């Protein structure tokens, strides 16, 4: 690092701060950027410079977008009566890449984590409750959402991660919805063994959830 030109060294040091990037990888990436044609490098630099100013949160689901409402919320083909609650936009992308879900989302941008001083007010939970209240009060009221009319809200899928913090977040949301007496179906992602797994290596909780969530065959 000491023999690198100062500007190249600064780029490498910055890249090293990115998650999962060590010193050697940062150096390789810095050299790669140096070899890019100037027009590509300028385009890349402009995209980075515009990243903060052009990226917004969807006013309905809090997905990242460049407009007021994201393209998922405005898509007429999506089932607006089902909301999957996810921890992050990366979780949303995981669902979208597989094309396995046709409802809409609510992104919490975090999860309840008392050990790191993250409570319900530190993530987008209040906004979720207000969104549900708006769509279910009064029940079965046809309401305009994201430019289209929907006939109420039918289901909330708690799609937080299956770890301690994700479970705590899902339980908190479930309890809040029951306290507020919302008339809708509340579901949780199913747990169990992944395809190709071996029972011998499965942990206790995975086997327990697999038994609890067994299906007819």
Fold of 6-54: Helicase, Ruva Protein; domain 3 (1.10.8)
Q: pLDDT digits over 155-168, tens only?
A: 999 999 988 999 99
Q: pLDDT digits over 47-74, tens only?
A: 999 999 999 999 999 999 999 999 999 9
CATH entry 3.50.30.50 includes domain 64-188:
no
Domain ranges of the chain: 6-54, 64-188
Nearest to 160 by CA among 196, 206, 191, 129: 191
pLDDT, residue 139, reads: 46
First to last CA, the chain: 61
Residue 67 gets which letter from DSSP?
Answer: S
For a pLDDT cut of 90, what percent of the chain falls above it? 67
DSSP string spanning 136-177?
Answer: HSSTT-EEEETTEEEE---EEEE---SSHHHHHHHHHHHHHH
pTM beyond 0.85: no
Dihedral of CA 23/29/34/39: which sign? negative
């Amino acid at each position: 690092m000491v023999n690198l030109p100062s500007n190249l060294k600064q780029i490498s040091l910055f890249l090293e701060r990115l998650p999962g990037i060590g010193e050697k990888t940062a150096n390789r990436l810095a050299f790669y950027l140096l070899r890019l044609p100037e027009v590509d490098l300028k385009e890349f630099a402009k995209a980075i410079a515009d990243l903060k100013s052009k990226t917004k949160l969807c006013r309905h689901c809090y997905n990242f977008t460049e407009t007021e409402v994201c393209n998922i919320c405005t898509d007429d083909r999506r089932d607006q009566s089902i909301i999957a609650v996810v921890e992050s936009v990366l979780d949303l992308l995981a669902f979208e890449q597989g094309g396995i879900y046709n409802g809409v989302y609510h992104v919490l941008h975090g999860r309840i984590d008392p050990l790191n001083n993250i409570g319900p007010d530190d993530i987008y939970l209040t906004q979720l409750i207000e969104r549900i209240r708006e769509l279910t009060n009064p029940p079965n009221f046809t309401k305009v959402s994201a430019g289209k009319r929907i006939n109420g809200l039918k289901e909330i899928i708690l799609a937080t991660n299956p770890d301690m913090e994700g479970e705590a977040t899902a339980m908190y949301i479930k309890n809040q919805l029951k306290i507020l007496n919302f008339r809708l179906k509340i579901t949780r992602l199913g747990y169990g063994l992944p395809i190709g797994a071996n029972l011998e290596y499965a942990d206790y909780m995975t086997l327990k959830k697999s038994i609890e969530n067994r299906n007819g065959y």
